[in-house]
Amino acid sequence: MLIKEVIARKIPDSRGDLTIEVSVNGQSASAPAGKSVGKYETSSYYDSLDWNIKFLNDANFYGMQINNFNDLLLLESAIKSKGKFENPKKFGANALFALETAVLKSCAFSQKKQLWEIINPKAKRFPIPLGNVVEGGLHAQNELRPDFQEFWIIPQEKSFSKNVSLMREIYNKLKKILNATSITDEGAWQVSMSDEEVLGALSQFKRIKLGADIAASSFYKNNHYLYKDKTLTSEFQILYINDLIKKYNLFCTEDPLQEEDFQGFAKIKRTNSTFIIGDDLTATQPERLIKAIKNKSINAMIIKPNQNGSLLEVAKIFEICKKNKIKTILSHRSGETLENSLADLAFAFEADFFKAGVATKWREAKLNRMIQIENEKNH
């Protein structure tokens, strides 16, 4: 595929904030944005959204030949030389992610292939959806919200589409059970309940497992974890999380401690036979992942492509995870667009889990795309 035209523009995301959309030979891709931002994730833009849009519209990529996934190396080299960056990620994660995805979409279109086939034509394993059905912390606005950021259901059916159906069924039932009247940016229920009240309510459902994103960095101040009803030292936070994992039989727990506590993560992982997930801890960066592996901190990792920017580096992260038996969770962000390529990426990289929400059109676009891939593979 010969690059003939690159056009960058601003579009609103699901929160109404502006983000970048890039079109390559008429095939477009856009980038999301997170509300809960990890300290170590790549900056979204080099200088500003406007700067990156001007750069892409002024830069001349005409004549560059991209035929497969690994040819993104040519694109990243061009970004480095045109922008005089020592590393293509300096260009900005959102801008690089949108550009690379649009290039791959255009490549797929020119070869009459699906996006996932350009990345990994041998892909065949579908992820399990992980649905955030209730949110608190930084993802909710109400005063009496839970301290934890997300509460998940992980369905245990035989296919991706059946898992999504079960998630949606439980999500709809929860409105009445939780007395919920509003939703968060990610389409999860916003409730006036404690963390344990939410976990107790979710425990009643069959054919699912439970998980939670503690997002502990968001309420860690002056060496203490500040809950609404208690203040815990790191030692007592570890004991509290261990207790919750056992009491509610949690299948997975994300960021149970603040983002520098690799040793504390390792203590929780040693004590439990469940998945301890790094997100703020690892921030979709290979160096942070390698540090977590050396410290035996995690056995699962959230991967958000636009936290990094380079799809080549995202592929490398998946390789490192597989080699070290770390489960992978490809994830959306709180500020999303109707971009559905995340499903192709999850399938192509053979992610173990796919975290794309349950409700609202921005989340459904990704879930429905994965169902479409599943239907096409099965026929």
Catalytic residues: 186, 304
Return the ∠ at Cα 52 (arms to 48 and 56), rounded to 5°.
Answer: 170
Long-range contacts of 50-55 (CB under 8 A, 24+ apart): 52/8, 52/20, 52/91, 52/92, 52/94, 52/95, 53/8, 53/9, 53/10, 53/20, 55/82, 55/83, 55/91, 55/95
CB atoms within 10 A of CB 73: 13
Of the candidates 211, 203, 183, 369, the residue with the CA atom closest to the CA atom of residue 275: 211
With tokens 């080699």, the residue in question is 323
Question: What is the C-alpha R_g of the chain?
Answer: 20
* 3 state DSSP class of 71: helix
**DSSP structure string for 21-52:** EEEETTEEEE--B-SS--TTSPPSSSS-HHHH
> CB neighbours (10 Å) of residue 63?
8
